[in-house]
Structure formats: C-alpha cells, structure tokens
Structure 1
Amino acid sequence: MTDEVESDYVGIFDGDLGFGKKPALILIDFVEAYFDKDCALYAGVEHILTNAIALRDAARDAGILIIYTNVAYAPSLIDGGRFTQKVAPLANFVAGHPMGAWPEGLEPEENELVISKQYPSAFFGTSLASTLTANGNDSLIMTGLTTSGCVRATCVDCCSHGFIPIVAEQSVGDRHEDPHRANLFDMQAKYADVVPDKDIMKYLATL
C-alpha cells in the first residue's frame, strides 16, 4: 500500500472475521471458457484451477459441503438480461456449449452440489443462501473466477446474507493482475477475510 492508501484504511478497514464453525466450499465458474485460448473469455488462470482443485480435495477429506457454480443461458439469451447485453462473449455460456463444460480434474461428484446461475453473484436468483442455512453452514470458503467479477459479487452477497466470506487468496484469479489485486484488497478491507490457501488447508485439517 502507498502511504496515502494506508492512512485512509488502517484503523478503519482492518477488521477480521475469523473462520466459522461449519464452512462450505464454493468453486465459482471454473469452466472451459477461461482455459481455452481460442475463447474470448480466456484468462490465463490455469494455475488458479490447480490450486482450487487442491483445496477441493482437502474439503472432501474434511467432509464439508462442496458447491460448484456455472453459468447457463437459454439459446436466445433472454435470461441473461443486461449482463449478456453488456458482455457479448457470455454467449459462450448458452446451455450445452462446450465452453461451459468443466475442465479436466474438476468434475463434481454425485454428493456435491452444482448451481447454475445467470448473473455474477452465486447468491442472486439461486438457492445458495437457503442451502447454506438449511445445512447449518455459517461460512463460505470461496475459490473461483474472476476475482473482480463473480468472486467479488458472491463475496459481497455472502456478507450481506450473514455468512462469513473467506476468500482463498491463491485460488481466485483474473485476466489481469491489477483488478485482481485491487479487488482482493477491497474485499479484505470491507467484506471478507482474504486468507492464504495454506492457512485454509490447516483449518480444514482440524475439522
């Protein structure tokens, strides 16, 4: 941080929430579009997927609820509203399009939940909040793509719904480092705890 930024934040936006007692893990929009170099949505985040799979495997060992999200639209994109009007490459997420498929190594197991969404937040217009409440989860460990988009939107809504947002620092990514770092900084300041993956691994091992 620059001295100016530090003076604006330190002592004001430096609180911590801590880990909850019963977390769930969410993997936000890890789909082929972000890993296929021929796709307009390619983001060069292959290493983020590798990190997230390691966290997913640790979450399986811990026996916690694991949730995956993808984006799926009707062929007409009528359910995409202003979002698909604003971002034309979202047409890659018409239901059944190969760019919406899971990348190798991420395939959900039968006892894991898949939520399809149409907008950035995994909470908006979905059953996610109800599922977490019914399952007794008090916190949500977040991995996914992209940091400045669907991860941030999910983080803000997670906080707004009363769950503890834990952002896995090395398991979220973006197509450019600047918005990635800026959004990590802002989520840590205002909504969530941004936690190194190694610390989340240690926490999961205690459950």
Structure 2
Amino acid sequence: MTESRETNYAGVFDNRLGWGRKPAVLVIDFTYGYTTPGSPLYAEGVVKAVEASVDLLDAARAAGVPIIYTKVMYHPSGMDGGLFAQKVPVLQRLVPGERLVEIDDRVAPHPEDLVIVKNYPSAFFGTSLAATLTSEGIDTLILLGCSTSGCVRATAIDTIQHGFRGIVPRECVGDRHDGPHDANLFDMNAKYADVLPREEVIAHLKGLARTKAA
C-alpha cells in the first residue's frame, strides 16, 4: 500500500508558525498577462484567485494593513531578464507600455499602496522589499498572487529566509494547472508558510479592524 503524502510528512513537516504582531499583504503579479484570454500566460486558476482576493483586500484596507504589489517588467532589450527571460522567452513581452504588465483592475492598487517592479520570481530578489518590511516593523506577510508554483513559491521561501512569517490564503493564489498548484500549496504549507482558508485570513483581518476601532 502506497503511503499518503500527509502520512509521510506527519511529525516532520507539519508545524504552524502562526500570526505575528503586524502583517502586510503582498499581491504578486496579478497582471493582465495572466487574466486576459488569448495571452500566452493566461491561466483560469489565476482569474479565480484574483476574484477571490477582492474581499480579502477590502478587509486588509479596513484594518489599515499595508498592501504591496509586484509586477514583472523588463527593459525592451531584455537585458535585465537575464537567463530567466531566456528560459521563458514569453517574458520578453513584458515591457513598458504593454497592457499585459499592468495589474488587473479588479485588484488595482490604491494611491497609498506600494508597487514594486521585479525581474525574477521572488519578490525579494533584487528589490527593496525586505528593507521596506523591516523599516515598517512588519513581521508577517500575507501572500496572494501567481503563479503558485513559480513566483508565489519563490517568494514564500524568501519570506521565511528573511525572517518573516508567511500566510498563504489558499483560494487567493493561482496557477496554470491544478497539479503544480496543489503540490506546491502542500509543500509550502509543510516547509515555508501557513496555507490557510481565505475566510480564516479575512476573519483575522476583521479582528484587527475591530481592535483598531476600539
């Protein structure tokens, strides 16, 4: 009889880190490249994740929780894409002026939100994200975005490596295919972050809002 992954990981990779004192939301690459039918990057799973993130972002704003966005964009020469853009040539289409690089209006940033441009999968790599979080006293990062197996996973690993707690609302991340999506959620939850139901995360944010209003 084949052992289940849950049984195999039990007692070794099943701990929870929980919430810290001050969270922020990181919205990873929810751009039109992933939500526009006909785009080579289009993924129905990402569209569903965008739609599932609207209420969570509203709850974060009501609680005064900082929201940071990322998007991938390159110089027209592709030079700053390095080997990543060579490995995935479609990324070379993500240049200034191209609609595919813009954040989907359903989860659009507000004027007070920070938008970080990145060139590689992790939102930490080559950006000011870690310094920004540290200077703001943030210790917990709620990760939304795409793709689950790519930029979300890379960011989750760097989140814990930089000393921040990671929370991944399950319904608010998406991928091209259920296989990589499910496998990476399972593995992130085992090793790098706490993967929670969206409603549990929203409930925590609403609790912060009530505390703030008291």
**TM (normalized to structure 1)?**
0.97
State the 1:5 CA deviation: 2.4
State the 1:94 CA deviation: 1.2
State the 1:90 CA deviation: 0.6
More helix by share: 2
Amino acid at match of 1:147: T
- Indicate yes or no: 2:11 matched with 1:15: no
**SS of residue in 2 equivalent to 1:3:** coil
State the 1:4 CA deviation: 4.1
Measure, in 2, the Cα distance between the counterparts of 1:85 and 1:143: 26
Residue in structure 2 matched with residue 33 of structure 1 by the alignment: 33
Residue in structure 2 matched with residue 3 of structure 1 by the alignment: 3
Whether the 8 Å CA contact 2:81–2:92 is kept in 1: the answer is no
Measure, in 1, the Cα distance between the counterparts of 2:147 and 2:4: 28
5+ unaligned residues in a row in structure 2: which ranges?
Answer: 209-214
5+ unaligned residues in a row in structure 1: which ranges?
Answer: none
**SS of residue in 2 equivalent to 1:133:** helix
Output one character per residue of 1:118-175: Cα deviation in whole Å (capped at 9) or x when no partner: 0000000000000000000000000000000000000000000000010111000101
Whether the 8 Å CA contact 1:27–1:52 is kept in 2: the answer is no
Whether the 8 Å CA contact 1:148–1:179 is kept in 2: the answer is yes
- Superposed, 1:126-205 pairs within 5 Å as 126-205=127-206
State the 1:52 CA deviation: 1.2
**TM (normalized to structure 2)?**
0.94
**SS of residue in 2 equivalent to 1:114:** strand
Measure, in 2, the Cα distance between the counterparts of 1:175 and 1:22: 32
Amino acid at match of 2:183: A
**SS of residue in 1 equivalent to 2:42:** coil
Number of paired residues?
Answer: 206
Output one character per residue of 1:98-131: Cα deviation in whole Å (capped at 9) or x when no partner: 1111222222111110000000000000000000
